[in-house]
A and B are shown apart, each in its own frame.
Chain A
Amino acid sequence: MTIAVIQFGGSNCDRDAVRALAHLGIDAERVWHEDGLPEEVSGIMLPGGFSYGDYLRAGAMAARSPIMNEVREAADDGVPLLGVCNGAQVGCESGLTDGVFTTNESARFQCEHVFLRVENAETPWTRAYDEGDVIEIPIAHGEGRFEITDEKYDALVDDDRVLFRYCDAEGNVTDDANPNGSTGNVAGILGARETVAVLMPHPERATLPDVGGTDGQGILRGFTSIE
């Protein structure tokens, strides 16, 4: 099985993603977007970075590149898909997931460790955790404020498609623990099916023991825990 890590012009977390997945024994390879999606992929990762210089809106250009038609078809067929940071922005811009990630409330780029509370542990991406667990993972984004219409937000919550919310070290979801002004402190969500997920924090930066915490491993293991 191979996970395709899609590389757009301006992606910069693709190598980190491949290495983090390899550390977990998950075979992954970088795929240049113009080369199209390889046949027989067992998963797709949209990595972080600044595809197309964040022109227009973060993720807007990559979301409309030709490979995304193949990505959407594969995701509709049940191929697991994980979008991280810029990949999450691409996921929302392409309609794979609801809402949009836009300018941080602070209007600044923020690079820091945050705590996330696991909201739903019954998904492939969160099966390694228990509901209510607090995990520590870094963020690095200028456009991570989750915005969504009230109607769609209610649907997300009702369908239990919120994966993570920003919280403090004790797991309290508060305004102070919300790094970017996201609606409902939402940090990560599922798409229409549980095999599609996006999140702003970087699990691949919290996977290799040599560079700090490993709380992100469970998210990446989602690629191998589809039931």
Chain B
Amino acid sequence: MTAYTATVTVRLKRGVLDPEAETTKRALDRLGFELQGLRATDRYEIDLDAADADAAEERASEMADRLLANPTIHDYEVEVEEAEE
């Protein structure tokens, strides 16, 4: 078994309104910054032991499917790295 860290990034699907991101963008506008848009994501860093990277990715993807993301409004991506010592 190898120790991995799976990073799951959950974001709203394109076209789904994100009022919190809109509010954050307006606050940055008010502070004088120039920006055209802002998207917020949720990122989960999951430490797990698995036989190989594929197995780690599969388990993390299942976590996203069953809990971390809601398929109605979310897309997600999973990246797996060997955990730092």
A residues with a Cβ closer than 8 A to B are: 56-57, 60, 64, 92-93, 98-100, 102-107, 145, 147-149, 152, 181
Contact = CB atoms under 8 A, between A and B. Distances in A.
B16 interface: yes
Contacts of A105: 17, 19
A148 B17 CA distance: 12
Nearest to B22: A107
Nearest to A108: B19
Contacts, number: 35
B41 interface: no
Interface in B1-26: 16-20, 22-23
A60 B67 contact: yes
Interface range on chain B: under 10, 10 to 19, 20 to 34, or 35 or more?
10 to 19
Contacts of A98: 72
Given A107-B23, A149-B72, 15 more contacts: A56-B67, A57-B70, A60-B70, A64-B67, A99-B72, A100-B70, A103-B18, A103-B20, A105-B17, A107-B19, A107-B20, A145-B17, A147-B73, A152-B72, A181-B19
Question: Which residue of B22, B23, B67 has the most chain A CB atoms within 10 A of its CB atom?
Answer: B67
Interface of B: 16-20, 22-23, 66-68, 70, 72-73
Instruction: Determine the main DSSP class of A at the interface with B.
Output: loop
A145 to B, nearest CB: 7
A1 B17 CA distance: 43
B73 A100 contact: yes
Nearest to B19: A107
Contact of A102 (B66, B67, B68, B73): B73
A106 B23 CA distance: 9
